[in-house]
Structure 1
Amino acid sequence: MAHPPTRVSVSYEGEGLRAQAIAMAELLGLKLATGSDDAPLQLNVTTEGLTLSLTGPDAPGPIRVDFVAGQFGYRQSRISLRSEPLARAVGIRGHDRPSVLDATAGLGRDAFVLATLGCDVVLVEREPVIAALLRDGMERAAAEPDLAGTMARMRCVQGHAPDILRGLGHAQRPDVVYLDPMYPHRDKSALVKKEMRVFRALVGDDEDAPEILTAALEVAKRRVVVKRPARAAPLGGREPNHRIPGKTTRFDVYVKG
């Protein structure tokens, strides 16, 4: 997918984290930030994990993946089959927990919900910096006794979703492929607006979403689920078998077989 290249530099909170920052920069092929660095995005190594932020005037605060506290931690205690339309969309019922490949993982919110409900979830993220944030958040959460079981059901893979999907052997194919392509977000909260600014600066729009849908329909054993704005056209013009509506978003469900 074509999008303008965005420079990202790696910074660190204190001298004690310098070696970790150097290792992260080498892993991702990035440079360390300097006092005069003009990189529009900065991956910061802190004592509480990785953060990513825009630089410059009027830049919003950093984003991070934290499954323990904040929005994730608050939501976990309220996740239930009845309260999550996503559970119905992927086909969770009774004791059946389908395996799911989240082809557009982002910060892992929906994957976390599915793993909390008992699904094994592979999180595919094409952008290496976002994948690093995800892995960092997952590693920290795995050390928490209350979340260790959920994290054991989540695995992050960095790469291009269509290639990963088509490279799966039959035994590796997921029951469900889930897509939440990036689009002008319906949520007006300051948190989401901040995240969207950072994501768009880093990866642009999900212009390859129709290609991912095509690959997903080839590979998924049971169904493909696409999250869409409530009034948006179906992704790639493909009509789903049915929809699960919501106030601002809906789930388009493509049933296999």
Structure 2
Amino acid sequence: MAEKNKPLVVDFVGGAVGHRFRQGGGRSQALPKAIGFKAGIIPNVVDATAGLGRDAFLLASLGATVTMVERNEDMYQHLLDGMERARKENDEYRDIMDRLTLIHGDAKEIIPTLNPEIILVDPMHPERKKSALVKKEMRIIRDLVGTDPDAKELMEVALHHASKRVVLKWPMKADPIEDLRKPSHQITGKTTRYDVFIRS
């Protein structure tokens, strides 16, 4: 349950997402680099763990076509609401929303039906053992959706079905997923790393 007087809201127009969108930064950011944005290449992406939809929105704002998959019913409804409000904001946001598709269900079952090129996986990981206090918003989300104990199984499905690459978004200091093969390369930030698995 969300904390009292602090309901969870998916907001693509205001807050951190809207600020990042207005400030730009575009393809120079770590995520677009990991996904494979290049001159003349507009990726087709499956975001297997949609969450608040922020990564999917960033990619769609850069021109990518993104299919979001969210298995938690409450989060799915929050996303639908946020997408509808953004669509009504203006033509620019409506164009971005037109590049986003939202599916409710388990990505492990849905991915094989999508013929995906690029898959982004951002599991809800357990709290780190010596971490600073988790941001309030992240605590609310974790209370709502829990963690993803099947992250390795999801990654295996993604690695089997993606035709071009799989990108795993993971906390910089978190332990790696056990027994998962090594990535082709990594793109790192201050608190997050992107493990990139290129499909040959």
TM-score, normalised with respect to structure 2: 0.90
- Aligned partners of 2:95, 2:132: CA distance in 1, in Å? 33
Q: Is the 8 A contact 1:60 1:194 kept in 2?
A: no
CA distance in structure 1 between the partners assigned to 2:99 and 2:160 by the alignment: 24
Q: What is the CA–CA distance in structure 2 between the aligned matches of 1:78 and 1:220, rounded to whole Å?
A: 32
Output the amino acid matched with 2:26.
L
Deviations 1:135-173 (A, max 9, x none): 11001111222211111001111101100012x1xxx41
Say whether residues 1:92 and 2:50 are aligned partners. no
Residue of structure 2 equivalent to 1:256: 199
What is the DSSP-based 3-state SS (H/G/I as helix, E as strand, rest coil) of the residue aligned with 1:77? Answer: helix
Question: Does the alignment pair 1:205 with 2:147?
Answer: yes
In 2, Cα distance between equivalents of 1:141 and 1:82: 22
Change (3 A) 1:78 1:233: same
Q: Does 1:148 align with 2:91?
A: no
| Alpha-carbon spacing, 1:225–1:71, altered in 2? closer, same or farther (3 Å) | same
Question: What does residue 184 of structure 2 align with?
Answer: 241
- Percent identity over the alignment? 43
Aligned equivalent of 1:177: 119
Query: Is 1:216 the counterpart of 2:162 in the alignment?
Result: no
With 117-126 and 223-232 compared, the bigger mean Cα shift is at 223-232
Q: CA deviation at 1:60?
A: 6.2
- Measured in 2, the distance between the counterparts of 1:82 and 1:123 equals 20
Q: 1:232 aligns with which of 167, 170, 174?
A: 174
Structure 1 unmatched ranges of 5 or more = 1-40, 42-52
What is the correspondence of 1:1-257 to structure 2 with a 5 Å cutoff?
41=1, 53-54=2-3, 59=4, 61-144=6-89, 145-166=91-112, 168=113, 172-183=114-125, 184=127, 193-238=135-180, 239-257=182-200
Provide the rounded CA distance (Å) in 2 between the counterparts of 1:164 and 1:139.
23
* 1:160-188 deviation digits (Å, cap 9, x = unpaired): 1100012x1xxx41211001111227996
Tell me if structure 1 keeps the 8 A contact 2:27–2:37.
no
Give the aligned CA root-mean-square deviation in angstroms. 2.0
- Tell me, what secondary structure is at the counterpart of 1:235? coil
- State the structure with more CA Rg: 1
Q: CA deviation at 1:205?
A: 1.1
Identify unmatched segments of 5+ residues in structure 2: none
Shift in alpha-carbon separation, 1:124–1:220, aligned structure 2, 3 A? same
Q: Is the 8 A contact 1:90 1:225 kept in 2?
A: yes
Can you list the C-alpha shifts for 1:45-89, whole angstroms capped at 9, x where unaligned?
xxxxxxxx33xxxx4622201111122211111233354110110
Tell me the number of residue pairs that the alignment of Structure 1 and Structure 2 aligns.
196
Structure 2 CA distance for aligned equivalents of residues 73 and 81 of structure 1:
13
TM-score, normalization: structure 1?
0.71
Q: Give, in whole Å, the separation in 2 of the partners of 1:154 and 1:188.
A: 34
